[in-house]
């Protein structure tokens, strides 16, 4: 008996030990993995919504909390996609100056004076990280919606069609994200759905290669009609017109990105948008038509003009970024909160005298400046001494509708959509490409489109040109029409005015009347945190 007991005592542990080694590969019991997240048609729509929402919000909880990016390295609010992109495109130009004086690295201040480095700005790091987060979730959606995977899920045919369509939308959003990376950082890693998440070191590609990838993705979407015709899809979702507009932008700046002029291709795609007959400049509200584009009811008043908006809603799309940031930060001094539909401005941003001088402020309705209590001149920009009253305020974006109603008056989050792509931009791109020698268009049309914009801006024909505008006129008109819509830096670079001494504005390069800076500032540096975690990356020239 005793022996049997002893044998049992030894045998049982031995059997248990044997069983242990088999089950080392198990699925996590808690947390989400792709097979549990992407398992119903609804969850796919939610996944696609996240890819869209990545431009407007910063995490799973509005306005902040449960952030997408770790709060230890980037602040959640200021790493919002549109906010960061806007900051990097507007602050280092004549259009915007930041007056916050309490940031640990005083980093928003660095942009206007061209003092940024790879490690002194969490906005720079946040933008880079946010771009690749967007790429990562778009890649995952594209992976999970491959036809072979959908076939194994047993969904209905109509669900499969919807999800496959969503896959094309995700490809457009990913191309848009890479376009921003191309414009801001130049040569960066290219990570596609073929690269599974894991611990690998992504390889950097040349700027040309990235340009070609973006072009090939967009051409595939356009040539094979993978997205709906213009005006056919739900407002806010990507369609063919968005693809064509992005192609036009890519080609307009191709000389900067690749050294090869692509003005003809730009005209081709501008014509596709123009000739679709779906879009027109919004003129329904007389002199207020321009202003209406930047109000919370723009989807009703100005849908004919807005090609691709980033939709915001004060109740369901809350963040400290996107238009919530623009509207709060533009309000300060004596600007009354109620006019802007918010509870308290952040007194952050004003504009320079160089920019104001582009306007005929008496007759151009687009000159929306706040002058009461503000000085036109900016005596100082350093964080220790600058204040909001330096420089005119801007009143372009507001959270009060064209009928004077503030949506969600009890919430301090805006409902104003951010117009990522607008028809006015397409018209100006057409005119510029014609002047740059592209074929497929005519200078007569260029003049017509240019005057359409002038006419809408002035409310009458007094501002119209009688002869074809010059390239400098186009640049100035882009400033007047598209200001504070995150295109200025790209435009100035394309015209060779961003770093050179030909066009100076107050505090450019840190000098009160402006000074030229070294040309390496035409590209932003890759963040130091990224260089540290990926030693295969090579920094852009001139930095470190």
Partner 1 sequence: MIKKTSNLVALINVPVGTNFSNQLITNIGNMEDKGVEFSINAIPVQTKDFTWNAEFNFTYSTAKITNLSVPGDSSSFTLVTHGGIAGGTGGTVQVYQVGYDPQEFYLYKQVYGANGLPLEGVYADYGRDGSPALQYFKTATPKIFMGFSTDFAYKHLSMGFTLRAELENYVYNNNASNSYYGGMANGTGFLSNTTTAVLKDNFVSGQYLSNYFLENASFLKMDNLHFGYDLGKVIDKKVWVRLSAAIQNVFTITKYTGLDPESPGGSGIDNNLYPIPRTFSLGVAIGY
Q: What are phi and psi of 67, to 5 degrees?
A: -75, 155
Positions 80 through 109 that interact with partner 1 (CB under 8 A): 101-105
CA–CA–CA angle 267, 496, 359 (5° rounding): 80
Q: Could you tell me if residue 507 is left (phi over 0), alpha (psi between -120 and 50 degrees) or otherwise beta?
A: left
Q: How many CA atoms lie within 13 A of 320 on its CB side?
A: 10
Q: Indicate whether 191 belongs to the interface with partner 1 (CB under 8 A).
A: yes
**The one segment of 240-248, 272-280, 342-350, 441-449 that binds partner 1 by CB under 8 A:** 342-350
Of positions 142, 160, 347, 431, contacts partner 1 by CB under 8 A: 347
Q: Are 320 and 83 in contact (CB under 8 A)?
A: yes
Q: Tell me which of 161, 343, 344, 380 binds partner 1, using CB under 8 A.
A: 344
Residue from 122, 351, 401, 516 in contact with partner 1 (CB under 8 A)? 122
Smallest distance from the beta carbon of 399 to partner 1, in angstroms? Answer: 18
Q: Binding to partner 1 by residue 332, rule CB under 8 A?
A: yes
Interface with partner 1 includes 204 (CB under 8 A)? no
Strand ranges, E, within 339-456: 349-350, 369-370, 393-394, 418-422
Cα(478)–Cα(89) distance, rounded to whole angstroms?
14
Cβ distance 528 to 119 under 8 Å? yes
For the CB of residue 72, give the shortest distance to partner 1 in the complex, in Å: 6
Does residue 194 touch partner 1 according to CB under 8 A? no
Angle at 344 between CA 340 and CA 349, to 5 degrees: 75
DSSP 8-state symbol, 319: -
Of residues 308, 290, 185, the one with CA closest to residue 239: 308
CB of 16 or CB of 33, closer to partner 1 = 33
Q: Pick from 128, 211, 390, 392 the residue near partner 1 by CB under 8 A.
A: 128
| Element (DSSP H or E) covering residue 309 | strand 306-310
CB 64 within 8 A of CB 320: yes
Tell me, residue by residue from 384 to 423, as one string, x for binding to partner 1 by CB under 8 A and - for no binding: x---------------------------------------
Which tokens in the block code for residue 440? 């497929």
Q: DSSP of 494-506, one letter per residue?
A: HTT-SSSSSS--T
Secondary structure (3-state) at 375: strand
Answer whether the bond into residue 63 is a cis peptide, omega within 30°: yes
535 lies in the binding site for partner 1 (CB under 8 A): yes
Nearer to partner 1, 470 or 533 (CB): 533
Q: What angle do CA 51, 52, 56 make, to 5 degrees?
A: 115
Q: How many residues does the structure list for the chain?
A: 544
Spatial contact of 32 and 140, defined as CB atoms under 8 Å apart: no
Asked whether position 532 contacts partner 1 by CB under 8 A, the answer is yes
CB of 78 to partner 1, least distance (A): 5
- Quick check: 189 and 205 in contact, CB under 8 A? yes
- From 120, 455, 464, 500, residue interacting with partner 1 (rule: CB under 8 A): 120
| Among 62, 77, 166, 391, interactor with partner 1 by CB under 8 A | 77
In the complex, minimum distance from the CB of residue 368 to partner 1, in angstroms, rounded to a whole number: 21
Q: Which is nearer to partner 1, 101 or 455 (CB)?
A: 101
Among 94, 129, 292, 330, binds partner 1 (CB under 8 A): 129
For partner 1, give the closer residue by CB, 31 or 259. Answer: 31
Q: Total number of residues binding partner 1 (CB under 8 A)?
A: 50
Of 47-76, binders to partner 1 (CB under 8 A) are 68-76
User: Whose Cβ is closer to partner 1: residue 164's or residue 204's?
Assistant: 204
CB of 204 to partner 1, least distance (A): 11
Q: Which residues bind partner 1 (CB under 8 A)?
A: 68-78, 101-105, 115, 117, 120, 122, 128-129, 131-133, 135-137, 140, 189, 191, 195, 197-202, 332, 344-345, 347, 383-384, 529-530, 532-535
């Amino acid at each position: 008996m005793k022996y049997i007991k002893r044998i049992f005592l030894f045998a049982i542990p031995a059997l248990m030990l044997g069983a242990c080694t088999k089950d080392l590969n198990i699925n996590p019991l808690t947390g989400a993995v792709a097979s549990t997240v992407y398992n119903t048609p609804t969850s796919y729509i939610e996944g696609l919504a996240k890819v869209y929402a990545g431009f407007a919000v910063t995490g799973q909880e509005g306005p902040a909390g449960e952030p997408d990016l770790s709060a230890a390295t980037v602040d959640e609010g200021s790493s919002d996609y549109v906010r960061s992109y806007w900051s990097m495109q507007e602050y280092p130009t004549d259009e915007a100056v930041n007056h916050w004086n309490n940031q640990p690295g005083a980093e928003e201040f660095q942009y206007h004076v061209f003092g940024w480095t790879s490690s002194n700005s969490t906005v720079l790091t946040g933008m880079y990280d946010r771009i690749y987060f967007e790429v990562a979730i778009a890649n995952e959606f594209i992976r999970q919606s491959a036809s072979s995977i959908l076939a194994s899920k047993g969904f209905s045919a109509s669900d499969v069609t919807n999800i496959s369509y969503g896959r094309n939308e995700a490809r457009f959003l990913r191309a848009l994200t890479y376009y921003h990376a191309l414009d801001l950082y130049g040569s960066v890693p290219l990570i596609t759905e073929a690269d599974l998440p894991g611990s690998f070191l992504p390889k950097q590609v040349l700027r040309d290669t990235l340009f070609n990838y973006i072009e090939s993705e967009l051409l595939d979407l356009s040539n094979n009609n993978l997205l709906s015709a213009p005006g056919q899809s739900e407002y806010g979702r990507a369609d063919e017109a968005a693809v064509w507009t992005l192609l036009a932008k890519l080609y307009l700046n191709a000389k900067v990105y690749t050294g090869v002029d692509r003005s003809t291709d730009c005209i081709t795609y501008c014509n596709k948008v123009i000739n679709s007959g779906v879009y027109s400049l919004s003129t329904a509200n007389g002199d207020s038509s321009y202003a209406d584009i930047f109000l919370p009811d723009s989807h009703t008043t100005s849908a004919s003009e807005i090609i691709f908006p980033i939709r915001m809603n004060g109740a369901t799309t809350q963040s400290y970024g996107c238009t919530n940031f623009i509207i709060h930060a533009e309000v300060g001094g004596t600007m009354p909160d109620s006019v802007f539909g918010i509870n308290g401005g952040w007194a952050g941003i004003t504009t320079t005298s160089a920019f104001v001088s582009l306007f005929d402020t008496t007759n151009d309705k687009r000159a929306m400046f706040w002058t009461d209590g503000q000085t036109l001149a900016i005596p100082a920009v350093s964080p220790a001494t600058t204040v909001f009253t330096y420089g005119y305020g801007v009143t372009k974006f507001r959270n009060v509708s064209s009928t004077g109603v503030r949506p969600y008056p009890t919430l301090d989050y805006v409902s104003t959509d951010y117009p990522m792509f607008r028809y006015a931009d397409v018209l100006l791109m057409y005119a510029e490409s014609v002047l740059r020698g592209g074929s497929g268009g005519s200078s007569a049309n260029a003049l017509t489109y240019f005057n359409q914009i002038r006419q809408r801006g002035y409310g009458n024909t007094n501002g119209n040109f009688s002869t074809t505008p010059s390239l400098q006129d186009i640049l100035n008109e882009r400033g007047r029409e598209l200001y504070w819509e995150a295109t200025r830096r790209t435009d100035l670079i394309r015209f060779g005015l961003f770093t050179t001494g030909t066009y100076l504005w107050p505090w450019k390069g840190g000098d009160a009347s402006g000074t030229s800076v070294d040309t390496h500032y035409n590209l932003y540096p890759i963040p130091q945190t990224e260089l540290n975690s990926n030693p295969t990356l090579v920094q852009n020239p001139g930095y470190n």
